Structure 1
Amino acid sequence: MISSLAALGLALFSSAVAAQAQRPISVVAFGDSLTAGYQLPPGDAFPVKLQAALKAAGQNVAIENAGVSGDTTTGGLDRLDWAIGDGVDAVILALGANDALRGIDPAITRRNLETIIERLKARKIDVLLVGMLAPPNMGQDYGRAYNAIFPDLAAKHGLLLHPFFLEGVAATPALQLADGMHPNARGVDVMVAGTQPKVLELLAEVRRRRGG
């Protein structure tokens, strides 16, 4: 009788593990207009194209678009709890661009991002930190303080880091909208290709945590 119960328990445990392994990895892309898909058709937004690219690569993943145009790190912190719901496995944290555009004190940006990171880690959510660079017109002192935020936080908290979200897109008019700031559909493709290697590492971290 005991051996039968043990066998049943093992079977149920194995079934639960298998179901967990088969569940799509739930990722939230948490950012601003660069994430939301500013002035683009819904199908051209970064999270949508990233999910398509990952699925084409054989990844079982679902990516939610939690980008809000104009959002700062302060706004992101304010909406964190309701934007990142239960059952989320990982977050692509891509906030901070608007802080630099508005000249917000880098100490505030750093503090907000660190609080977001700490709260996500407390919930056992894996994080990929996506960095930005300060516009040159903000000056060298501001740029040094701001640009150091992302690598510093990634190193301190042991996070994966994609150093610059707009790598290959910034200052390339053919990949931008007319405003010279936001990516067009082709620009989003470049962003997806640039971030995908780190996102694959993020998904691998989730699978390790799941034990499968």
Structure 2
Amino acid sequence: MSVLAIAHRAGNSLTGLHEANALGVDVIECDIHRHRDRLEVRHLKTAGPLPFLWDRWELVPASAPRLGLHELLEADRHGTTFMLDLKGIGAGVGTAVVRLLADRSRAQPVLVCGRNWSAVTAVAELDQVRPVLSARKPRELTALWKRVGTGGFHGASVHCTLLDRNVVERLRSHVELVMTWPVNDLSLLDRMVDIGVNGIISDEPSVLAELIRRQRA
């Protein structure tokens, strides 16, 4: 398998979707939240009763338009392979994704990932889904070994600070795809590819473009 170019959060807007497809990436990632029985595509989080969405230094009014997952899928004209990063707590978002995907016919498989493992497991029942477990912290990586060892998972997505050659080799003995993020400069790209990672998640078009160039060389 060649190293996949994965556009981080590019699916969180229709503009990002079109730009990533124009670049020629392999996979477009988007963040999926379940809010009032609706699947929304956004990285911003709700603030309970407060009338805004937030993430670190960003605030937007809660009344601002929110992209729905069904709208994103309907807007796709390129046979995109999406990676749905399931947010929140519990299996609810996963169950809602199952209902939506079961009603849609897609030729392309859908990667479903997240640190919310119960939600990922809920979606793994669908034939078109490739389940991926994510780990951001050392304790999550420790727990991940036991889960991937049981089989049934397509991949693992692990923060770049947790990876070395031995970790990647061990992961690839259990899963087909080992992804990492955030890879936003070329030196880190080289290091991650060198230790055996076969999926690069990046916010930077220049990094994705270089990876695509290497695929075609």
When normalised by structure 2's length, the TM-score is 0.38
Q: Report the structure number with the largest CA radius of gyration.
A: 1
Q: Which has the higher strand share?
A: 2
Q: Which has the higher helix share?
A: 1
